[in-house]
Amino acid sequence: MAHRKPSNVPNPPRVVACVPAWNAETFIAATLDSLAAQTYPNLEVLISDDASTDGTAAICARYAAADARFRLIRQERNLGWVGNTNALLRAAAGDYLLFAFHDDLLKPAYVARLVEALEAEPDAVLAISDIELVQVDGRREHAAYAALDGIADRAERTRRLAWQQGEWWIPNRGVFRAWAAERIGGLKRHLAGEFYAGWPWLVHMAVLGAFVRVPEQLCVKVRRKEGVALSWRFNTPSFLAASLSCAREIRHTDLSLSEEIPLYGILLRRCLGRLLDSLRIRLAPLAARPTDAQ
């Protein structure tokens, strides 16, 4: 891919980094510093403080006062991760958007490189980079989502995401076209609340266009004990609820019925697999129990 510097473009596309923040006073400054250091010339950083009970809002307000690219929204009541993220999507006015989660650190070229990738691929709706993943215990790992590299068929893209093939969660940290977010209508809660709410979102996104990957570690994902995902209940009912939400999202796309039916089959197989695994775990203690001597 030929490299282009967005700063040389007379009117570079407007990018809005959406930062959903809540009780993040101990680490959000590093995230905001990484956004302030972006080299892309037409960037707005839109922060929504979700009625934090610590000093998060005050920290964000200082950045908004010092840097004209930063803007702070303060929610009067706690909306939760999904509600706060959707509030940002409604307030954002740009050509491209991204979720800049309050505990992710972006390398200075992150926005510029991903916008460059999208500008070079008109059929793509989302651009991602590789991730440096920092585990709770401090271990650092390289994470990449290559499952959709070069996949032009929308049904196949959707199938791979429905199956959760590879590190499927990484595209939630990509830059995407604003019209695609509007078409999807934001993140959705479901029967298990916010669990895996980004999964149906990405399934729908895959129908709308290709994903393009920049094979560079441009984002650092830091897992924290107080992180949203680590508070979820990773159990079978939650997975079934998220799968049902995926099916509902597929139904709301313009896929033909012949394209939809195999995708429902994929989700059904995933659910049956989870149910069987859950059953095996429950029955394992019984199978290991010694039988009475005859």
Number of other CB atoms surrounding residue 217 within 10 Å? 16
The phi, psi pair for 140, rounded to 5°, reads: -110, 135
- For residue 222, what are the contacts with CB-CB under 8 A and spacing of at least 6? 27, 103, 104, 105, 134
CATH 3.90.550.10 fits 12-232, yes or no: yes
- Residues whose CB falls within 8 Å of the CB of residue 73, separated by 6 or more in sequence, listed in order: 46, 47, 48, 49, 87, 88, 91
**CA–CA dist 199, 242 (Å, integer):** 8
Q: Tell me the Ramachandran region of residue 23: left when phi exceeds 0, alpha when psi lies from -120 to 50, beta otherwise.
A: left
User: What pTM value is reported for the model?
Assistant: 0.88
The total number of residues shown for the chain amounts to 294
What does the alpha-carbon distance between residue 33 and residue 294 come to, in Å, rounded to a whole number?
71
Tens-of-pLDDT digits for all 294 residues of the chain? 333 344 455 689 999 999 999 999 999 999 999 999 999 999 999 999 999 999 999 999 999 999 999 999 999 999 999 999 999 999 999 999 999 998 899 999 999 999 999 999 999 999 999 999 998 888 999 999 999 999 999 999 999 999 998 899 999 999 999 999 999 999 999 999 999 999 999 999 999 999 999 999 999 998 876 655 555 566 889 999 999 999 999 999 999 999 999 999 999 999 998 888 777 766 666 655 655 544
12 phi, psi to nearest 5 deg: -65, 145
